[in-house]
């Protein structure tokens, strides 16, 4: 039995599905601060609790005889962490300490921790390996790194095996009708691109086009959530027990502009875009060296640019079939105030269209 903390969130609900698909039993604990119980199958044991409540956690671990915990619950936004750092240190550092303590007391064998590429900060090399320096530039990245340190310290001293999986930019499988289902609109790039494609958002804000990259926009390593889940399941079955930290990325960098252009090509229409100032906490470029994960037999199956962008196209198609009949192109015609994506002037970018 695997207990998934934060299992009602974006990655969590995909991981629950991956468990079901592979015959792995699982249960979820989540305080629903950013998740939805409705997105989980009814027969999955669900406990509404905060990870900082050690007594509740211990009771759940004991009653289900849990041997593996996948710890996803966290505050997850780089930009929000700059505005509210304590929220991040409370949940991500103290919450992880409480989860680890409960695991130790209840005899859990393996704790798999959802860490992040944000622990590396501004990389000194094009690709980062697990041994690259960790100099996070946001409270989010620092909080996730501090939690890694707690877990590696425990692993050296106690019976609990811990591994930090450093997820790069997870994409795909977003909730379509976020407002109807009560999901908070995800801030992630691919989610925002999908919203603009559906007409749920009038235009895409591109945060900075003056970075030192080939086209001026940020570069990220996007990994499809299904590929991510297969890596988590590999670790949950002991396939990464000799590692203490692992990069989980596809291993290729894609810029914001390349994502937008590929989405436009797929959909056959322009995405309205506005260039905004750089977003605090963003780094210009970060790409995984995922060689260690590959040597364990993992390969990304769904994380190529066409696959990632195909999602936007497929979702638009799904939306056309199931919802109010709005078509992407019609949506564009109804919102003509930002006619051409890349050519907005500094003046036009200063105010909303
Ligand atoms: N999405 C990404 O691109 C990405 C990349 C790197 C790392 N990660 C990490 O993966 C994990 C999951 O991310 P996500 O994108 O699914 O985020 P999410 O916000 O969709 O999911 C997090 C879940 O944790 C729950 N939660 C938050 N605080 C809690 C608390 N105190 N007690 C119990 N539950 C709580 C929320 O309700 C939510 O359901 C996080 O640890 C995040 O740092 C995500
Ligand atoms: O509407 C948007 C959204 C994003 N971006 C840009 O797209 C890139 C990616 O941003 P986003 O999708 O928000 O992801 P990150 O800020 O890179 O952070 C994600 O990826 C990290 C790992 O790299 C995780 O730790 C975080 O939890 C997760 O939010 C950045 O350059 C953003 O400035 C835009 O230009 N417009």
Which of 118, 287, 349 has most ligand 2 atoms within 8 Å of CB, for mutation? 118
Ligand with smallest separation from the Cα of 191:
2
- The reply to whether 81 and 133 lie within a common domain is yes
What was the pLDDT predicted at 174?
60
User: What digits encode the pLDDT tens for the residues 139-158?
Assistant: 999 999 999 999 999 888 88
The pLDDT assigned to 315 comes to: 58
Question: Does 299 share its domain with 337?
Answer: yes
Residues 320 and 286 occupy one common structural domain: yes
In DSSP terms, 87 is beta-bridged to none
Specify the residue with its C-alpha closest to ligand 2, atom 19: 169
Match 């509210």 to its residue by tokens. 84
Ligand 2 closest atom vs CA 169: 20
Ligand 1 centroid–CA 33 distance in Å is: 10
Q: Are 103 and 64 in contact (CB under 8 A)?
A: no
Is residue 187 located within the same domain as residue 234? Answer: no
Question: How high is the pLDDT of residue 316?
Answer: 58
Domain annotation covers residue 29: yes
User: How many structural domains comprise the chain?
Assistant: 2
CATH number for the domain harbouring residue 55? 3.40.50.720
Q: What is the ipTM of this complex?
A: 0.97
Mutational test site, ligand 2, from 128, 191, 256, max ligand atoms within 8 Å of CB = 256
User: Is 233 in the same domain as 186?
Assistant: no
Looking at the DSSP assignment, which residues form a beta bridge with residue 4? 28, 70
Kind and range of the H or E element at 327? Answer: none
Q: What share of the chain in percent tops pLDDT 90?
A: 69
The reported pLDDT for the residue numbered 329 is 32
> Does residue 234 share a domain with residue 255?
no
DSSP 290-308: -HHHHHTT---SS-SHHHH
CATH label of the domain that carries residue 289: 3.90.25.10
Last residue of a domain, one of 248, 263, 292: 248
**Residue 320: is its pLDDT beyond 90?**
no
Q: What is the mean pLDDT of the chain?
A: 86
Q: What is the pLDDT of residue 325?
A: 31
Rounded alpha-carbon distances, angstroms, from residue 328 to 193, 216, 274, 316:
12, 27, 18, 7
Q: What is the pLDDT of residue 265?
A: 86
Best of 188, 212, 259 for a ligand 2 pocket test (most atoms within 8 Å of beta carbon): 188
Same domain (yes/no): 191, 316: yes
Ligand 2 center to 179 CA (angstroms): 21
Q: Which ligand is nearest to the CA of 148?
A: 1
Burial 2-38 (b: 16+ CB within 10 A, else e): bbbbbbbbbbbbbbbbbbeeeebebbbbbbeebbbee
Ligand nearest to the CA of 288: 2
CB 125: neighbour CB atoms within 10 A?
11
Q: Same domain, yes or no, for 145 and 277?
A: no
Residue 173 lies in a domain: no
User: Is the same domain home to 140 and 8?
Assistant: yes
Query: What is the domain range of residue 317?
Result: 178-219+251-350
28 inside domain: yes
Cα torsion for 118, 120, 125, 127, to the nearest 10°? Answer: -60
| pLDDT number for residue 322 | 44
At 198 the pLDDT is: 78
Asked whether residue 271 falls in the same domain as residue 192, the answer is yes
In angstroms, the Cα distances linking 215 to 175, 193, 261, 344 are: 30, 18, 12, 16
Read off the pLDDT of residues 20-66 as tens digits, 9 standing for 90 and up.
Answer: 999 999 999 999 999 999 989 999 999 999 999 999 999 999 999 99
Q: Look-up: residue for tokens 């914001």?
A: 256
Looking at the domain assignment, is residue 299 inside a domain? yes
pLDDT mean over 126-131: 96
Q: Find the range with the poorest average confidence among 76-90, 212-226, 304-318.
A: 304-318
Are both 136 and 52 inside the same structural domain? Answer: yes
- Does 197 share its domain with 230? no
Task: Please choose, from the candidates 176, 58, 156, 170, the residue with its C-alpha nearest in 3D space to the C-alpha of residue 117.
Answer: 170
Minimum mean pLDDT among 6-15, 173-182, 310-319, 327-336: which range? 327-336
**Considering the entire predicted model, what is its pTM?**
0.90
Q: Which residue has the higher pLDDT, 159 or 325?
A: 159
> Ligand 2, atom 3: nearest CA belongs to which residue?
189
Q: Check pocket membership of 192 for ligand 1, CB cut-off 6 A.
A: no
Question: Is 144 within the bounds of a domain?
Answer: yes
Ligand 2, atom 21, lies closest to the CA of 169
Name the pLDDT band for 309 (thresholds 50, 70, 90): confident
């Amino acid at each position: 039995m695997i207990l998934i903390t934060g299992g009602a969130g974006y990655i969590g609900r995909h991981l629950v599905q991956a468990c079901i698909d592979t015959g792995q039993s699982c249960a979820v604990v989540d305080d629903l601060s950013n998740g939805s119980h409705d997105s989980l199958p009814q027969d999955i044991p669900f406990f509404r609790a905060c990870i900082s409540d050690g007594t509740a956690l211990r009771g759940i671990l004991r009653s289900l005889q849990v041997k593996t915990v996948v710890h996803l619950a966290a505050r997850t936004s780089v930009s929000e962490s700059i505005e509210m750092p304590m929220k991040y240190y409370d949940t991500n550092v103290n919450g992880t300490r409480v989860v680890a303590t409960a695991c130790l007391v209840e005899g859990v064998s393996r704790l798999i921790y959802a860490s992040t590429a944000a622990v590396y900060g501004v990389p000194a090399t094009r690709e980062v390996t697990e041994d690259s320096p960790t100099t996070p530039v946001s409270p989010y990245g620092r909080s996730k790194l501090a939690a890694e340190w707690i877990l590696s310290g425990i692993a050296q001293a106690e019976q609990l095996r811990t591994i930090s999986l450093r997820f790069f930019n997870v994409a795909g499988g977003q909730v379509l009708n976020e407002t109807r289902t009560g999901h908070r609109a995800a801030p992630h790039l691919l989610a925002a691109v999908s919203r603009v494609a559906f007409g749920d958002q009038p235009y895409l804000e591109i945060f900075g086009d003056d970075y030192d990259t080939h086209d001026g926009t940020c570069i990220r390593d996007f990994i499809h959530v299904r590929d991510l889940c297969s890596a988590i399941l590999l670790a949950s079955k002991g396939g990464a027990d000799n590692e203490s930290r692992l990069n989980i990325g596809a291993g290729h960098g894609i810029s914001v502009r390349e994502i937008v252009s590929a989405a436009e090509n797929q959909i056959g229409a322009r995405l309205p875009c506005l260039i905004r100032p750089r977003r605090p906490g963003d780094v210009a470029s970060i790409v995984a060296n995922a060689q260690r994960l590959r040597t364990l037999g993992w390969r990304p199956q769904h994380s190529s640019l066409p696959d990632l962008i195909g999602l936007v196209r497929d979702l638009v198609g799904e939306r056309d079939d199931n919802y109010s009949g709005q078509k992407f192109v019609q949506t564009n015609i109804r919102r003509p105030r930002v006619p051409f994506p890349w050519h907005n002037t500094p003046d036009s970018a200063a105010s909303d269209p």
